[in-house]
Chain A
């Protein structure tokens, strides 16, 4: 075993430009659809169908088929929205922030992490729309010339959210697509079928790798990263304002923006691990997504988990220290109230379990990491449930207290949203190189330069 101070290499096998291109492009072009892929895609489509049924029922009958009512008007829909959008954040963090910090290990995982971002934001976006009750009027949230001569209320965080989430989706998609152009050209030039050449050729926009083009391309890519970095922080900050600007005990708190951003990165990295570990096993990518990637992600998971734990602690501390009886009651209600299992589950999955990552043995084990990552995903969903429902169901006046019970349709919409994610993700790994080939060649060149120096 090597000394613990020397990290394992980013690329594990001796690769050349040719072999790395063959390997990654081959997954798309020559491997084809295998049974495992078909099974996963079928599960995705089945869940997508479930979502279709759930949404049709919702539009036909109305919002009453969900468990939401006064006082809990924000139920699963808003918890799911915050959860999904948080998952997206790790993709942007990996692709933009780690690029600016010159963390070269990001290059094997940024492509599918960015794809994860886009699909997660798509899943997130449907929930506020459906929760509107009359989704056909969603465009009322945007400023457009109208006969009513009205504008959206620009002082409301809910309107900020519309701008933040739509900007986030657009920029993520652009960033992903710009990163894809050289690889699409590779696929165009390697494809054996006419349809492949035409389709990849159209999307490659005639890219020919001209040095002049690369020069502007690199500048554009770096600038997009620089713009995406503050954007990703702003998005979850604005999401947290949806809560923090309200007067409700448990929501009205200044810790919310940083704590939401840390939670988003925490859950996002958990999702990247949840996706990367099975992908690497299924497609034999151990030489490209190495132990070093998993260890680094495990460390980020540990650090962001500790920030989230600090957020929980400060929430509880401020509830006690403020001396406000309503704040104190919210805390007490979380610990012992009807939804206490959610709160304790959240503490178990988000605070207690990730402490195992202090052990190197755990960080080195793909199976252990996978289990922890899945638990963190569940824990972060529970956190959003706790935040959304517990503050609403018992606010200031006991006479207006109530309970929220999710119905079959709540669950169907939650699990159905995985259908969108899985369907698009499986299409992505089948038709688009899941690792950036151009960046891997660059990495190879850098390693060659370092070896020569």
Chain B
């Protein structure tokens, strides 16, 4: 009966970050690409072991901050210089030093919003359902256990052989993940 259910992949459990790191290197060395780890805190070296590329979030944040700054300066210049010019003792209408504080604040505001919302968007969060949550032991991924997940869409994926590989790299427990 269980074998009839569509399979999302396999989930291997490890007791320590070091075991997970070693296992991730070996599973990746065996040619698997669609692998991910689920850990209760960011483990140093894990992204390299899994072969993730660098994120382009910093560039997004830079673009957001520059957009905020440019928009804020334009708004002030336009409002004070074009829309409603107010002659204060002949001082220049484009009084740029006085426009700096708001320009800065909006750069930070838009940059910060981009950082937080961009992180969520790139991570495809919020995601209320994920097949991994079907495994009861997975609750400890946010507490004290370290998991390695292999997606069944990986070309090398084979139900029995992959499970055997995961056991051989030191997994304390290997579970099948229903879709």
Contact = CB atoms under 8 A, between A and B. Distances in A.
The answer on A and B forming one complex is yes
Interface of A: 16-18, 21, 143, 149-151, 154-155, 157, 159-160, 163-164, 167, 170-171, 174-175, 177-178, 182, 185-186, 188-190, 201, 205-220, 223-224, 227-228, 230-231, 234, 238, 241, 438-439, 441-442, 445
Interface of B: 17, 36-44, 46-47, 50, 52, 55, 57-58, 61, 65, 75-76, 79-80, 83-84, 88, 95, 98-99, 101-102, 104-106, 108-109, 111-113, 115-116, 118-120, 122-123, 125-130, 132-133, 138-144
A209 B57 contact: no
B112 A170 contact: yes
B47 A215 contact: yes
A234 B106 CA distance: 12
Given A190-B143, A227-B111, 20 more contacts: A17-B143, A149-B84, A155-B88, A174-B116, A175-B112, A178-B116, A178-B119, A189-B139, A190-B139, A208-B132, A208-B141, A211-B43, A211-B50, A214-B39, A215-B42, A216-B123, A230-B104, A238-B101, A438-B41, A441-B144
A21 B143 CA distance: 6
Contacts of A170: 109, 112-113
Nearest to A160: B101
A141 to B, nearest CB: 12
Please indicate which of the listed interface residues B47, B55, B101 has the most CB atoms of chain A within 10 Å of its own CB. Answer: B101
B112 A174 contact: yes
A293 B43 CA distance: 25
Given A205-B125, A216-B123, A155 B95 contact: yes
Nearest to A152: B79
A185 B142 contact: yes
A223 B106 contact: no
A439 B116 contact: no
Contacts of A227: 61, 65, 108, 111-112, 115
11 contacts: A17-B143, A17-B144, A154-B79, A175-B112, A208-B138, A211-B47, A214-B47, A216-B123, A220-B119, A234-B105, A445-B17
Contacts of B138: 208
Contacts of A171: 108-109, 112
B4 to A, nearest CB: 26
Nearest to B17: A445
Contact of B80 (A151, A186, A441): A151
B113 A209 contact: no
Given A155-B98, A210-B37, A220-B118, A167 B108 contact: yes
A189 B50 CA distance: 25
A212 B109 CA distance: 26
A201 B105 CA distance: 33
B130 A208 contact: yes
Contacts of A208: 38, 130, 132-133, 138, 141-142
Please indicate which of the listed interface residues A164, A216, A234 has the most CB atoms of chain B within 10 Å of its own CB. Answer: A216
